[in-house]
Amino acid sequence: MSGTYTCASCGETFESGWSDEEAAAEAQENFPGIDVSDPAEAGVVCDDCYEHIMARARAEAPELIGPGWRGEAASDDPIGDALRADAEAARAEIRAAGIVCPSCDVNLADLPDGHRLAVVPGLKDGFAECRDGQRADITTFEPLEMAANVSLWDEFRRRETEAFKAIVGEGPANFTGLLGVIQGEDPR
């Protein structure tokens, strides 16, 4: 084994589970025709970044992938797979930040749709509460900061949902009409 490596994508350092030879062999099998020894063409990446890269490669450049790539496509929708991989990578970053609702103790990345945190600031009696949690004291900086971040996220999600409904509508017919416009069909 090689000890540790630094992911060329996210920059974090990890314990290596493979020898350099095993990693190079897999890279050559997955990406035939690419010089895996050339840093301009290939790099060592962690498992999370690898899954993200493979989802994007399946969506954007499937001809570059050899028959030996690890994992199966989640569906016959490679663009959807790539979007889901992007969204999961974003949620992982948010989870890593450690921001949680002070009332229900749910991580910001995992808050349900419609979550609403009520924040009543105060130096001596400030509190926050959501419908899924309990009243939480926010009289010190860290809980107040988390409450502010969660409340801002809640408001962003609420406005995003309203904007999406205004653009797309709520029924399947409206969504189908939007797809027709995107595909260049005349809506009239």
Ordered by start, the domain boundaries in the chain are: 4-89, 98-182
Residues 144-150: contacts with CB within 8 Å, 24+ apart?
A: 146/99, 146/100, 146/101, 146/102, 147/101, 147/102, 147/117, 147/119, 148/119, 149/99, 149/108, 150/99, 150/100, 150/101, 150/102, 150/108, 150/111, 150/115, 150/117
Model pLDDT for residues 125-164, shown as the tens digit of each residue: 899 999 889 999 998 888 899 999 999 999 999 998 888 7
Q: What is the pLDDT at residue 42? A: 76
pTM attached to this predicted model: 0.50
Please give the average per-residue pLDDT across 24-39, as a whole number. Answer: 75
Q: Provide the pLDDT for residue 117.
A: 94
- The pLDDT score that the predictor gives to residue 179 is 57
| Biggest CA-to-CA distance, the chain | 66
pLDDT per position as a tens digit, 116-135:
999 998 878 899 999 889 99
Between residues 19 and 60, the one the model is more confident about: 19
Which pLDDT band, with edges at 50, 70 and 90, does 21 fall under? confident
- Cβ-contact 78, 58 below 8 angstroms: yes
- Burial of 83 per CB tally in 10 Å (0-12, 13-18, 19+): middle
**pLDDT category, 113, cuts 50, 70, 90?**
confident
Measured distance CA(163)–CA(156) in Å, rounded: 10
pLDDT digits (tens, 9 = 90+) for 63-110: 666 654 444 544 567 777 778 888 888 888 989 999 999 999 999 989
